[in-house]
Amino acid sequence: MITTEPNDAVRAFQDGVEFVMFQGDCMQLLRCLPDGLVHLVMTSPPYFMGKNYDRSYRVEDFYDDHQAIAPDIARVTRLRGNVCWQVGYHVQDKTILPLDFAVYETFRAQTSLSLRNRIIWHFGHGTHAKTRFSGRHETILWYGKGTDSYFALDSVRVPQKYPGKKHYKGPNKGEFSGNPLGKNPSDVWEIPNVNSNHVEKTAHPCQFPIALAQRVVKALCPFGGLVLDPFAGSGTTGLAAVMEGRAFIGADTSKEFCEVAEERYLSLKSGTLAFRPADKAIWQPGANSSIAKRPEHFFEHLMEVRDGEKTL
């Protein structure tokens, strides 16, 4: 459901509505949420997009907004709960600012949350840079509230590279060394981003994939728990939450994106939602594929570059 009244959003969750979108400023919603209500906060805040929903045109705006929101984020998160903040980089005048640095500084100053992991989200496609190496990753800062925040590793294990590997010494020598459920996925996650051809693409200009949110939800929020996304956009976090048996409350100032999120939720419930499964292998072209073969003129340009290097 979509509501423009923050108190109605809270009451809807309390009445058992599993997917609630508040159309408005997330600070209004946060002020209405009771202390310790939320099991997991998962979000990607807007930054320097120049879009109508993003007022952060300067780095100072980004800091100011986070300083305002951080205390309430910590307050509404329950003890042993988790907070995941996904951000990229601000690039200006050939200089970059890792925005997770800004988030870290703010959360350290404004909250008592503990940083548990700095996760690298790696993807294969993006804007091609000419004055630096092309950016192909963003980061997720995972904070826990308390010294022992919830973590269900077994729910997100991935297949081992060497499942038949055995201990070569010690009391377990000769026995299989891997966990039968799979291995820890590590702090580098390779998940395709939502580009123009992605099956999940909507009108939102900066979606993250459902698979990314699914891994966070499964690992960091107990079944039946509540997930909050204060910058919900097209509702990706909420879809992952509902898919995994959790409830969701999100906020976004855009009426259009709230409606997109609601439409996607209804598609999920009807079984028609298009999404890329988390366990789907990343496609690689075969050796005989036309797009995998180097055109003849590539060799010509390569030789020109090599000849030019020899004359420098």
Q: What percent of the chain has pLDDT over 90?
A: 63
Q: How sure is the predictor about 300, in pLDDT bands with cuts at 50, 70 and 90? A: low
2-286 belongs to which CATH class?
Answer: alpha beta
The answer, yes or no, to whether residue 272 has pLDDT greater than 90, is yes
pLDDT number for residue 311: 47
Give the whole-angstrom CA distance, residue 99 versus residue 167: 42
Residues 6+ apart with CB under 8 A from 168: none
Q: What percent of the chain has pLDDT over 70?
A: 89
Q: Which residue has the higher pLDDT, 113 or 194?
A: 113
Q: How sure is the predictor about 181, in pLDDT bands with cuts at 50, 70 and 90? A: very high
Q: How sure is the predictor about 183, in pLDDT bands with cuts at 50, 70 and 90? A: very high
Residues 6+ apart with CB under 8 A from 17: 1, 247
Q: Which residue has the higher pLDDT, 192 or 262?
A: 262
Q: How sure is the predictor about 302, in pLDDT bands with cuts at 50, 70 and 90? A: low
Q: Which of 147, 60, 149, 150 is nearest to 106 (CA)?
A: 60
Pairing of strands 2-3, 19-23: parallel
Backbone angles phi, psi at 87, to 5 degrees: -140, 170
Give the whole-angstrom CA distance, residue 25 versus residue 28: 6
How many beta carbons lie within 10 A of that of residue 137, not counting itself?
Answer: 16
Distances from the Cα of 128 to the Cαs of 76, 96, 135, in angstroms? 40, 15, 8
pLDDT digits (tens, 9 = 90+) for 16-43: 999 999 999 999 999 999 999 999 999 9
Please compute the mean of the pLDDT values over residues 74-98 and round it to a whole number: 92
Residues 6+ apart with CB under 8 A from 132: 94, 96
Give the whole-angstrom CA distance, residue 182 versus residue 177: 11
- The dihedral built from the CA positions of residue 42, 70, 11 and 258, taken in this order, carries a sign that is negative
User: Does an H or E element contain 265, and which?
Assistant: helix 255-270
How many beta carbons lie within 10 A of that of residue 82, not counting itself?
Answer: 27
Give the whole-angstrom CA distance, residue 295 versus residue 46: 40
- Domain assignments of the chain as residue spans, ordered by start: 2-286
